[in-house]
A and B are shown apart, each in its own frame.
Chain A
Amino acid sequence: MHFGKTIFAGLVGGVMAVASAASAQDTIKIGVSYPTPTHAWAAGMNWHAEQAEARLEALYPDIDLILINSPDPASQASALEDLVSIHAIDALVVLPFESEPLTDPVLNVKESGALITVVDRGLSQPGIEDIYVAGNNPELGRVSAQYMKTRLESGDNIVILRGIPTVIDNERFDGFMAEIEGTGINVLDHKHANWNRDDGFEVMQDFLSRFPDIDAVWAQDDDIAIGVVAALEQAGRTGDGMFVVGGAGMKETIRGIMDGNELVPVDVLYPPSMIATAMDVTVAAFKSNGPVAGRYILGATLITPENAEAFYFPDSPF
């Protein structure tokens, strides 16, 4: 285990000694820091963080979760300093804006003795975090390709709409291509649609003009998939078993799967609720009698009509 053993052990020991008393001074303070939600996925994350805060604080009166969101990396670095100096946090759950500029600030929090949980985006220096919680991008690509294989035969044609050119996009794409290789399914072309509905619509329109025979679309993301579906409907090419696979777990998409939508029959999970998982695990570090430090890589579950209910949050903005 790679965390500051002495400090952590001391902390846990101290907490355990007084846990039964649960007096006000002995509250366990956990800071939760993430980017200000400016897109739907992040808004969903914000919602799940607030839900987890209410749930955990109701469950454990001596746990105090402090949620702070920041509009840019510099403000997030300042927010981390405040969490240490003002709140004297015992643990930090952080979804870094960017890896590089936040590595040092997180390291400083760790030096104050706090337990560190990093979510989704890793830091640029290994070994700082005690707990790591993230989605699985290569797996998202692989699971999508596996589903394609169950529906398509050798000689069938697909097109791919990718996200914003980033490591995340490459991991998903490479995972998909590795799984689809050797199946005889033709990938006609792949273009970036930037995880955006408008770009999804336009890129798909052009694919439809360019390729007369497309059997399925991997849109990688639920927002892109919405644009793709609009383009398919406009061109009247929704028949013949055409289907679109997105990703993430947007509530409208999941609702559609529950209702038996044939055009978007499944979804692959990359959940914004991973922040809640991270908060649970961090609280467990103070409350559980089992060890919790380590890496938690969430599954890229295939969401089908059978299991969709479990991933449907109608009140979340995403």
Chain B
Amino acid sequence: MPDTAQTQPASNKPKIDLKMYGPAIALVLLCILGFSLNTAFLSEGNITNLLTRSAFIGIIAVGATFVITAGGIDLSVGSMAAAIAGVMIILMNSLIDVLGTGTLTVVIGAASAIMLGALAGLANGLLTTKGKIEAFIVTLGTMGIFRSLVTYFADGGTLSLSFEIRGTYRPVYYESILGVPIPVWVFIMVAISGWFLMNRTTFGRYCTAIGSNEHVAQYSAINVNKIKTWTYVIQGLCVALATVIYVPRLGSASSSTGVLWELEAIAAVIIGGTVLKGGYGRIGGTILGALILTTIGNILNFTDLVSNYLNGTMQGLIIITAVWLQRADWGSKSKT
């Protein structure tokens, strides 16, 4: 940031710097705001709650970073999570009679969730690439399909995990290892794998290349369809993983599960500095974006200064400001 006062050609550099640190600065500012409103904001309990809560959107957003970087979009993630949660609950409930209430039932439930996620992602990917339908339309369609499936499975009501199996599965959300809750561990591992895949492998570079210019990538002998399909499979896997740690929280799925998660995930990705039209992706930024979104909601619950009816306004303002901070052309004289 110090050496911003440059002429046109060099003006790329400060922008990248702001993209690097913008989300982190925004998060620190939010934390200061939260702490000044109520010191309990930085209590261990609240920080743990915040991180655990961010895990769902965070994990899904890591997958979304790949899809968006490669120039795609996936609107179906929230509904997909609900549908997977529904199938998982039905499956585990019916397995109790056969396999009992032990770990095996939960493992099979989780494994089938992962498989379903991969399959759902594969369907989105193939319809987009082989079917040559715009990703927006494909995933808008599957969003409706997954959402109505869970409503159908639940007979319009709520699917609940049997109480006998809940005890076995519950620790996956509520227990901690080395003082860190299990969902946060999963979040950390997904983040590290995502970062490695994006920044240290040819796959990550191909995603960026395709998002920048699909035709050029094609001519550079990149198998565009294959890479793009894989981004949707990764997205599906991330959704499944998020679902596996979501289900033990309340042990239920209904048509209101995962509503608007797709928009939160996309918002987290963009707040983090990834470009919505593709070609530039930042996993680290996405993680911060997810934390920022959760923190906003948390802070609004910590204060009664703002009318409840204006929560959406506050969220919107903070999101727009966070992105504006890193995108706006700050000119040559603004900071020296």
Contact = CB atoms under 8 A, between A and B. Distances in A.
Chain B contact-residue range equals 20 to 34
B40 interface: yes
A210 B40 contact: yes
A226 B250 contact: yes
Chain A contact-residue range equals 35 or more
Nearest to A251: B157
A40 interface: yes
B249 interface: yes
A123 to B, nearest CB: 25
B285 to A, nearest CB: 24
B64 to A, nearest CB: 20
Contact of B151 (A38, A189, A198, A227): A38
A-B pairs with lowest CB-CB distance, top 4: A43-B156, A37-B156, A317-B157, A206-B301
A197 B250 contact: yes
B308 A38 contact: no
Contact of A191 (B49, B53, B254, B301): B301
B257 interface: yes
B332 interface: no
A196 interface: yes
B304 A189 contact: yes
B46 A317 contact: no
Contacts of A189: 304
Interface string A1-43: 0000000000000000000000000000000000011111011
Interface of B is mostly: helix
Interface of A is mostly: helix
Interface in B216-247: none
B255 A317 contact: no
Interface of A: 36-40, 42-44, 46, 162, 165, 189-192, 196-198, 201-203, 205-210, 223, 226-227, 230, 234-235, 252, 317-318
B40 to A, nearest CB: 5
Given A37-B155, A201-B249, A209-B49, 20 more contacts: A37-B156, A39-B157, A40-B254, A162-B308, A165-B308, A189-B304, A190-B308, A196-B256, A198-B250, A198-B257, A205-B49, A206-B46, A206-B301, A210-B40, A223-B158, A226-B250, A226-B252, A230-B250, A252-B160, A317-B156
Contacts, number: 85
A202 B156 contact: no
Contacts of B151: 37-38
B45 interface: yes
Nearest to A211: B40
Interface of B: 38, 40-41, 43, 45-46, 49, 53, 151, 154-158, 160, 174, 249-250, 252, 254-257, 297-298, 301-302, 304, 308-309, 311
B156 A38 contact: yes
B301 A203 contact: yes
A42, A205, A252 interface centre (most CB from chain B within 10 Å): A205
Contacts of A42: 156
